[in-house]
Structure 1
């Protein structure tokens, strides 16, 4: 067992940072009730974490090469633990969102170093075994998140989903200090501070603008200012990266249609398969009245299906193009999410089952080979940036996808309420999206049917947009990522994290 203790130390951090992506969904209604936040606030609880991961993954990878992977992993664990404590004690929505952003900073430091620590610790057959276990832990984190979140929330309250990280982080730190050796710093490259700053500003302003559009409308001052700022920041990012001698993201890579299609696929996979789950959780708990544990159990089929298939999907790494399982997986996600449009005003949670299973099969098929497919279309010396880019676009896809689908949902609900003669449809739609359906229904029994109808209509529109987006991404991969353009990839296992 002694040779495997470093793997245990690395996997503890990996599990913790990835489970925090999915564990929050089930706790959103209790968070909304406890802190009195809107759906925009709830979105930022998820997006703050995802954006920090997306913005800093490539930067922290460079820092790890310069200062040492073990050292940065330990720093990440410390930051993550401190931020988790702040999340658990947060007295208001603003503090919670800020702490989630800091949590994402720590998560980025861990996520950027775990694979490198394994690669430098293990060699030969042990390395393959270690990466297999690490990939399984990735998938297990996604599978365990909803159920673990439901259990902790129902038994101890929503704050427990953050406080539980503290003993795990302490154990990971102790083990890392005791059994993980430091890899010699390589000096790394120059840290692209301007690139990271403009990328972060672009992403944050875009998400803020989309969230504001859902709550205030597309013509609102906040919406317009944020979207204009996002456009300006994007232009600045493109200029900075074009002129930088050591860019955070080499824009020349996007001249290859295969690489560009795979980055789009990575983003849309996360958005199509996972971004709608926060709204599903709100529907299950605030409209249907399910407990957090039961709500977590409802979405477990997606996680379990993806975990089982991802374990078996390794055979696609040998022979043929890894683009095939990605395109097939995205198509399954699209079909699965479109199946969830069967949800209607009188539907119960079982209406989601078939769609969740089919979407989960797609996630399990596509996710484990995303990195391999990217490495197959890049020269060997670009392997590091290719792997980091995939994970960056996955987290960015989750953040932007949630903002887009939240705006789609709010718009559709407001339209239905307006058609029914609701005096202030926008405010009522925001109340429903913020998990306050009980308060709306409390105005009278006559409104119950309208609430169910409006929420179902909003979910129908969200599932349609997400499903069609996944099918379009599948077509992009099938058309642009051609087998003839790929080389045989090195096996890379990364499970199916959300």
Structure 2
């Protein structure tokens, strides 16, 4: 087999793993919560530790690879990700699990940042369409099968196997990379912007920490207020660094192009709304409605199938329909789908989510393919890598901030709802205690401590409280998508494109932002 095909196999295998771990963990969260007695805050960090480091190191990893060798850096990313997966699987505390997820994110950022450059170096320009088409299909499959595969492994073996399954795959991909992939470097590599990387990473970390702790400590606490102020200061420092750097990780002049800004809003909003909410929908289906992990994964298939079908249509329309007339209507559908998911009945069937899954999935499918062109179509080819990387970074920032903010709002609303549900009954004297237990994720132990005749009442109060809180954050997600629809309709303009969307110059970077 020609070495270019081995390169495609290695790259697709590595990227499949890293994208799989974006969604595979969601259905295992209730099992992780039970094993460690985790709070909702703890579970937020399991998701966000991965998204944070993935977002923080994407641009830096690409620069390092250009300078020191893409094959070498990709191999290092595989090692880091595989070791992180092993550490996740053997973690004996939530702190170690979250730290190991952060290590996974670093490895994932390294792989993702170098994958397209490796393919571009291995395939001649006329052959890249096939390579990037396979790459795009693999990224879509990874995200789609994550909930199902995660559910099967969690139900059939243990939640730890969602991480252990990466070990043989990572080792095989590493062997192929070292033995069959050619080395390549950028002809004019820039120096690494370490100062920008540190400032951006610290700012993002402080922001997410403050959002996650807002329910526990209160918005006015020193911890939360201090974290948010520190985040603002660090973001200002990042902007100053990028303005004065000879080789910035983010070219701030790109933000003056309305279409590029609209693309960043879209990348952030699709993650901060629909994809962030999946975490809390999973907890509802398993923790409140009692489905197993594999049953929960299968129940998300209407959403993923709708994304696949509509994405295929949008991919064909991207060459003939102005990009904003796909992205903006897509966000309208996402907003409508999230709205349709509201009003859930804790005692009802999971099918109450199906209309919303189908509509929101159709919207996400419309957004993803044309979103690629807003990232790279408005810049010259030599800046396409940076533009694509920034867009991918904003997707991960959307996950990190969305999970943190929505989770804190969910906990606060759930606390109020449970207190109200129990205030006039036989548990009125323990309403505050039980509400605290529910919002911290200790519902099962709190119910178990009650006399048998009161457990049913407490369980109904917990279910009602979570459902009402879920309705609240679904509304926020819907509003976020609706605002993104307006912003993208106003900002994304055909005249900003350097060349028409779909041209070969943008195809390489386009594959990077399809998911």
Per-residue deviation at 1:308? 2.8
Per-residue deviation at 1:185? 4.6
Per-residue deviation at 1:285? 1.1
The alpha-carbon distance between structure 1 residues 453 and 142, as it changes in their structure 2 partners (threshold 3 A), is same
1:366-390 per-residue CA deviation (whole Å, 9 max, x = no partner) reads 1122221222223333212110110
The alpha-carbon distance between structure 1 residues 159 and 423, as it changes in their structure 2 partners (threshold 3 A), is farther
Per-residue deviation at 1:496? 7.6
1:392 aligns to what? 393
Per-residue deviation at 1:350? 1.2
Tell me the distance in 1 between the aligned counterparts of 2:347 and 2:161: 33
CA contact (8 A) 1:90 1:96 kept: yes
1:447 aligns to what? 458
1:480 aligns to what? 491
1:71-105 per-residue CA deviation (whole Å, 9 max, x = no partner) reads 11100000001111000000101111111111100
1:110-157 per-residue CA deviation (whole Å, 9 max, x = no partner) reads 000111111111124421111001000010001100000000111111
1:244 aligns to what? 245
Tell me the distance in 1 between the aligned counterparts of 2:318 and 2:244: 36
1:231 aligns to what? 232
Residues 34-73 of structure 1 aligned to structure 2 (within 5 Å): 34-73=35-74
The alpha-carbon distance between structure 1 residues 340 and 90, as it changes in their structure 2 partners (threshold 3 A), is same
The alpha-carbon distance between structure 1 residues 252 and 424, as it changes in their structure 2 partners (threshold 3 A), is farther
Matched length: 498
Tell me the distance in 2 between the aligned counterparts of 1:183 and 1:23: 32
SS in structure 1 of the partner of residue 187 of structure 2: coil
1:264 aligns to what? 265
1:374-414 per-residue CA deviation (whole Å, 9 max, x = no partner) reads 22223333212110110000000010011111111112112
Tell me the distance in 1 between the aligned counterparts of 2:392 and 2:372: 8
Per-residue deviation at 1:325? 1.5
* Gaps in structure 2 of 5+ consecutive residues: none
1:468 aligns to what? 479
Tell me the distance in 2 between the aligned counterparts of 1:186 and 1:38: 50
2:79 aligns to what? 78
Residues 12-27 of structure 1 aligned to structure 2 (within 5 Å): 12-27=13-28
SS in structure 2 of the partner of residue 494 of structure 1: helix
CA contact (8 A) 1:304 1:360 kept: yes
SS in structure 1 of the partner of residue 182 of structure 2: coil
CA contact (8 A) 2:193 2:247 kept: yes
The alpha-carbon distance between structure 1 residues 140 and 411, as it changes in their structure 2 partners (threshold 3 A), is same
CA contact (8 A) 1:329 1:365 kept: yes
SS in structure 2 of the partner of residue 56 of structure 1: helix
Cα root mean square deviation, aligned: 1.9
Tell me the distance in 2 between the aligned counterparts of 1:121 and 1:24: 33
The alpha-carbon distance between structure 1 residues 435 and 253, as it changes in their structure 2 partners (threshold 3 A), is same
Per-residue deviation at 1:424? 7.0
TM-score normalized with structure 1 length: 0.96
Per-residue deviation at 1:436? 3.7
Tell me the distance in 2 between the aligned counterparts of 1:427 and 1:164: 40
